[in-house]
């Protein structure tokens, strides 16, 4: 780091320069911090040939026109604007204007300090030989990068001002290539078509889906590649950037931060919280290690993560003051890790979002590590990465994941998580089958393994597990048998599990996402018993679904007519994907609808319409929807129109649209070359 500061100072010390220098580094890596705390103070404190330099810092973030830059420079260079300009005007006619000052003339006019006929030599007012310009966030300006660099070149080439650019060239390159991509794709496709390099559309064939039709280029190049080549040929600003950079930038320095130094600086903001700062400083090695394992250099995300951890730490200490140091360290690691997974846009973030508890997380790890289930390999990689050298059972906190992702600190989820941890800390209170599902088997001591297996078998016989847990535990027992760890007859094992599943079906919850929750039949040597257990689980799970959906439909519809608002909230937030019309008597539903106010009839109609807005297949509900429609038609037949009658007629039209929409087939038509090409490029 000191070497980079000294390199910048070498540039400043040169008596004459006609180029700028660039400091290149990743977003959030601390480049601005480095400027403010290392470079700026070094420049302004140095005596260079009897001269003290003043730095002018300018962030280009969000700048949308060059005048905004001019105004910023003008104001930064002139803190005592009124007195200085008046003094210059009193000194008489002035003639020479440096390039960078020309940008400030309009600004001076706006303050009323200049007459149109006066000749002012701003060189006597604006001292330029003791100024250092620093332009930050070049890639984040809402301007053409080429225009910005051309503008900055005026200061460097004409006024020979010391100028430093700070940017992320990787993101700058992406910006140059991706700007106005839709417009570029359209123009490139249009030109290629006129050049005859795109073959004509294939005529529609009766009965043939559009998806089977292909549009190819005349020279047999893939369409995407052909368009990309044309875009690069027409709109190649990357080359323009390289040319102007070669002219403007004399040296480019790669910024590689000293993270330990910067992290210590970040921790200073918590000095007013003695308990927190003591914990953070004691575990600064964990912070650094987790940060390094994130695979990024984004200190900004780390700062946000530590801010989040402050609330997490304080809330935990308040409600669970006896929380162990191990749990707090685990919370620290997970808060930093999940912050990087979510805010750095990693694939794992969506996988972690779908996990709802520590138990579920640990179960996935057992499936991944012990039984080699690679369908959740993202979770295994996340775990191996961040917890590789840190031994803890507490590796997932749903309230933290939710807080970082949504900015909502859910107290119920927080207490559920912490209570689960308290239970986990006392393994004697955990059922043995839970240990087998959530704990690596090699962590169980030989002296207790047989007891764990025996107790688990008792729970299996008694039907104390959820259905999905039965299948997963069967695969684990099968694995134990293959390894010679337990001596149980396979036929006896199968019958024990089948009988236990039959008992458990009465109290088990429906498992919606089987693929995400189950482990699969290929984790151990496949056999007929495993397939039989899986098939039995699927059958019982479907029965559980029917039973659960009947209860949900009954609960929702019986909120009519007295609790329609609550029904609406619960339906939209939790059950919009459930075919509720299949599981309730339609005559009873219509009788309830008739008891509603006119306003609530419209609400219920809209709720049912929302359910079927994106649903194509209503095979299981078609009959009941028709029954409800028939009941409404019978009711209004021959009646004098009232508001309620008109609303029920409208309800009938909505049901007709639902029935009609389910029968519609997608329309066929020719896909235009430009549309296809644009879609392919986007993808």
In this predicted model, what pLDDT tens digit does every residue of 61-92 receive, in sequence order? 888 888 878 777 776 776 555 455 444 434 44
Mean pLDDT for the stretch of residues 361-374: 72
- Higher pLDDT pick, 581 / 101: 581
Confidence at 461, pLDDT banded by 50, 70, 90: very high
* Tokens of residue 414, six digits: 């927080």
Long-range contacts (CB closer than 8 Å, 24 or more residues apart) made by 83-86:
84/125, 85/111, 85/113, 85/114, 85/125, 86/113
**Per mean pLDDT, which range of 10-24, 140-154, 418-432 is the poorest?**
418-432
**Per mean pLDDT, which range of 105-119, 173-187, 404-418 is the poorest?**
105-119
Query: Residue 379 has what pLDDT?
Result: 84
* Tokens of residue 153, six digits: 């070149």
Domain residues of the chain, as ranges? Answer: 87-123, 279-425, 461-546, 562-663
Mean pLDDT for the stretch of residues 30-36: 84
Q: Rounded to whole angstroms, how far apart are CA atoms 146 and 138? A: 10
Query: Residue 48 has what pLDDT?
Result: 84
**Per mean pLDDT, which range of 127-131, 282-286, 415-419 is the poorest?**
127-131
CB 63 within 8 A of CB 69: yes
Q: Rounded to whole angstroms, how far apart are CA atoms 11 and 164? A: 10
Residue 163 CB contacts under 8 Å (≥ 6 apart), including other chains: 20, 21, 132, 133, 134, 135, 152, 155, 156
Q: Rounded to whole angstroms, how far apart are CA atoms 148 and 156? A: 13
* Tokens of residue 282, six digits: 């004691």
Q: Rounded to whole angstroms, how far apart are CA atoms 355 and 348? A: 11
**Per mean pLDDT, which range of 211-225, 298-312, 337-351 is the poorest?**
211-225
* Tokens of residue 473, six digits: 């535990």
Q: Does 18 score more than 80 pLDDT? A: yes
Q: Which segment, 198-202, 295-299, 488-492, 518-522, is predicted with the most confidence on average?
A: 488-492
Mean pLDDT for the stretch of residues 540-556: 91
Query: Residue 526 has what pLDDT?
Result: 59
| DSSP letter for each residue of 265-317 | HHHGGGTT-HHHHHHHHHTHHHHHHHHHHTT---HHHHHHHHHHHHHHHHHHH
CB 97 within 8 A of CB 128: no
Query: Residue 499 has what pLDDT?
Result: 95
Residue 670 CB contacts under 8 Å (≥ 6 apart), including other chains: 201, 203, 204, 210, 213
- Higher pLDDT pick, 260 / 436: 436
**Per mean pLDDT, which range of 262-271, 312-321, 559-568, 619-628 is the poorest?**
262-271
Share of the chain above pLDDT 90, in %: 32
Tell me the H-state helices in 521-618: 528-557, 564-574, 586-594, 598-611
Residue 635 burial (CB < 10 Å; 0-12/13-18/19+)?
Answer: middle
Q: Does 453 score more than 90 pLDDT? A: yes
Query: Residue 668 has what pLDDT?
Result: 45
Q: Rounded to whole angstroms, how far apart are CA atoms 392 and 378? A: 19
Q: How many helices (H) and strands (E) does the chain have?
A: 34, 5
Confidence at 235, pLDDT banded by 50, 70, 90: low
The separation between CA 526 and the C-alpha centre of its own chain, rounded to angstroms, equals 38
Query: Residue 325 has what pLDDT?
Result: 93
User: What are residue 281's phi and psi, to 5 degrees?
Assistant: -65, -40
CB 443 within 8 A of CB 495: no
Partners of 166 in beta bridges: 23
Q: Give the Å distances, CA to CA, from 621 to 581, 588, 626.
A: 6, 16, 9
Other beta carbons less than 10 A from residue 533's beta carbon: 21
pLDDT digit string, tens, across residues 514-543: 655 554 434 455 578 888 888 899 899 989
Q: Does 674 score more than 60 pLDDT? A: no
Q: Does 640 score more than 90 pLDDT? A: yes
The separation between CA 588 and the C-alpha centre of its own chain, rounded to angstroms, equals 45
Query: Residue 185 has what pLDDT?
Result: 72
Query: Residue 94 has what pLDDT?
Result: 39
Q: Rounded to whole angstroms, how far apart are CA atoms 247 and 245? A: 5
> Which DSSP category does 575 fall into?
-
Residue from 366, 354, 358 nearest 421 by CA: 358
Residue from 160, 151, 167, 124 nearest 12 by CA: 160
* Tokens of residue 190, six digits: 């249009």
Q: Which segment, 24-33, 194-203, 216-225, 296-305, is predicted with the most confidence on average?
A: 296-305
Q: Does 182 score more than 60 pLDDT? A: yes
CB 404 within 8 A of CB 308: yes
Query: Residue 372 has what pLDDT?
Result: 61
- Higher pLDDT pick, 670 / 240: 240
Mean pLDDT for the stretch of residues 263-280: 88
Residue 77 burial (CB < 10 Å; 0-12/13-18/19+)?
Answer: buried
Q: Does 122 score more than 80 pLDDT? A: no
| DSSP letter for each residue of 383-411 | HHHHSTT---S----HHHHHHHHHS---H
CB 96 within 8 A of CB 87: no
- What pTM does this model have? 0.51
Q: Rounded to whole angstroms, how far apart are CA atoms 381 and 365? A: 10
Q: Does 184 score more than 80 pLDDT? A: no
3-state helix, strand, coil in the chain (%, to 5): 65, 5, 30
The SS3 call for residue 159 is coil
Arithmetic mean of pLDDT over the chain: 80
Query: Residue 239 has what pLDDT?
Result: 60
Q: Does 306 score more than 80 pLDDT? A: yes
Q: How many CA atoms lie within 13 A of 175 on its CB side?
A: 17
pLDDT digit string, tens, across residues 592-630: 999 999 999 999 999 999 888 877 778 888 899 999 999
User: In which region does residue 664 sit, left (phi positive, over 0), alpha (psi from -120 to 50) or beta (all else)?
Assistant: beta
Q: Rounded to whole angstroms, how far apart are CA atoms 478 and 472? A: 10
CB 185 within 8 A of CB 677: yes
User: In which region does residue 220 sit, left (phi positive, over 0), alpha (psi from -120 to 50) or beta (all else)?
Assistant: left
Tell me the H-state helices in 141-283: 145-153, 169-178, 181-194, 223-234, 237-248, 259-267, 274-282
Other beta carbons less than 10 A from residue 626's beta carbon: 13
Query: Residue 670 has what pLDDT?
Result: 39
Share of the chain above pLDDT 70, in %: 75
The SS3 call for residue 163 is strand
The SS3 call for residue 222 is coil
- Higher pLDDT pick, 186 / 179: 186
Mean pLDDT for the stretch of residues 427-440: 78
Other beta carbons less than 10 A from residue 166's beta carbon: 24
* Tokens of residue 344, six digits: 């750095």
Confidence at 116, pLDDT banded by 50, 70, 90: very low
């Amino acid at each position: 780091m000191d070497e980079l500061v000294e390199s910048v100072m070498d540039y400043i010390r040169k008596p004459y320069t006609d180029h700028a220098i660039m400091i290149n580094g990743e977003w959030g890596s601390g480049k601005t911090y480095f400027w403010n705390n290392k470079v700026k103070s070094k420049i302004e404190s140095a005596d260079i040939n009897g001269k003290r330099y003043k730095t002018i810092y300018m962030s280009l973030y969000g700048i949308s026109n060059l005048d905004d830059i001019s105004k910023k420079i003008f104001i930064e260079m002139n803190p005592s604007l009124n007195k200085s300009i008046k003094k210059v005007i009193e000194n008489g006619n002035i003639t020479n204007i440096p390039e960078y000052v020309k940008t400030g003339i309009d600004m001076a006019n706006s303050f009323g300090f200049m007459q149109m006929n006066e000749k002012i030599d701003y060189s006597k007012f604006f001292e330029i030989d003791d100024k250092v310009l620093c332009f930050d966030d070049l890639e984040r300006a809402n301007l053409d990068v080429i225009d910005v660099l051309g503008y900055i070149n005026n200061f460097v080439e004409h006024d020979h001002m010391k100028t430093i650019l700070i940017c992320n060239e990787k993101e700058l390159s992406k910006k140059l290539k991706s700007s106005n991509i839709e417009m570029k794709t359209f123009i490139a496709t249009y030109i290629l078509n006129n050049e005859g390099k795109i073959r004509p559309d294939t005529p529609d064939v009766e009965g043939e889906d559009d998806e089977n039709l292909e549009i190819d280029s005349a020279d047999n190049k893939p369409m995407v590649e052909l368009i990309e080549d044309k875009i690069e040929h027409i709109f190649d600003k990357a080359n323009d950037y390289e040319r102007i950079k070669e002219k403007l930038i004399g040296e480019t320095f790669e910024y590689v931060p000293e993270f330990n130094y910067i992290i210590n600086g970040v921790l200073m903001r918590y000095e007013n919280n003695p308990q927190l700062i003591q914990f953070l400083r004691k575990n600064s090695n964990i912070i650094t290690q987790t940060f390094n394992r994130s695979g990024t250099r984004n200190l900004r995300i780390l700062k946000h993560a530590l801010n989040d951890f402050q609330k997490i730490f304080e809330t935990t200490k308040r409600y669970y003051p006896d929380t162990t140091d191990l749990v707090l360290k685990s919370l620290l690691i997970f808060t930093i890790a999940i912050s990087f997974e979510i805010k750095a846009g990693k694939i794992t973030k969506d996988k972690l979002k779908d996990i709802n508890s520590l138990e579920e997380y640990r179960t996935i790890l057992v499936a991944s590590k012990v039984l080699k289930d690679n369908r959740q390999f993202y979770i295994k990689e996340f775990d191996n990465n961040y917890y590789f050298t840190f031994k803890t059972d507490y590796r997932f906190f749903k309230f933290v994941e939710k807080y970082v992702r949504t900015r909502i600190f859910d107290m119920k989820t927080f207490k559920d998580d912490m209570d689960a941890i308290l239970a986990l800390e006392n393994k004697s209170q955990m059922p043995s089958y839970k240990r087998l599902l959530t704990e690596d088997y090699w962590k169980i001591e030989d002296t207790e393994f047989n007891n764990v297996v025996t107790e688990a078998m008792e729970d299996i016989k008694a039907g104390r597990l959820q259905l999905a847990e039965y299948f997963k535990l069967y695969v684990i027992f099968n694995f134990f048998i293959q390894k010679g760890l337990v001596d149980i007859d396979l036929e006896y094992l199968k019958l024990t599990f089948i009988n236990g599943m039959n008992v458990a079906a009465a109290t088990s919850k429906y498992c919606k996402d089987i693929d995400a929750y189950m482990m699969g039949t290929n984790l151990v040597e496949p056999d007929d018993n495993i397939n039989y257990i899986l098939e039995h689980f699927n059958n019982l799970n479907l029965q559980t679904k029917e039973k659960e959906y009947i209860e949900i439909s009954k609960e929702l519809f019986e909120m009519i007519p007295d609790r329609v608002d609550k029904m609406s909230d619960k339906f939209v937030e939790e059950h919009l994907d459930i075919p509720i019309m299949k599981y309730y008597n339609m005559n009873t539903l219509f009788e309830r609808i008739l008891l509603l106010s006119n306003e609530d009839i419209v609400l219920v109609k809209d709720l049912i319409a929302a359910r079927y807005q994106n649903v194509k297949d209503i095979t299981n509900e078609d009959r009941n929807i028709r029954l409800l429609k028939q009941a409404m038609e019978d009711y209004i037949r021959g009646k004098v129109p009232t508001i309620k009658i008109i609303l029920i007629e409208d309800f009938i039209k909505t049901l007709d649209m639902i029935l009609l929409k389910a029968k519609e087939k997608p329309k066929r038509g020719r896909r235009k070359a430009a549309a296809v090409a644009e879609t392919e490029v986007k993808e």
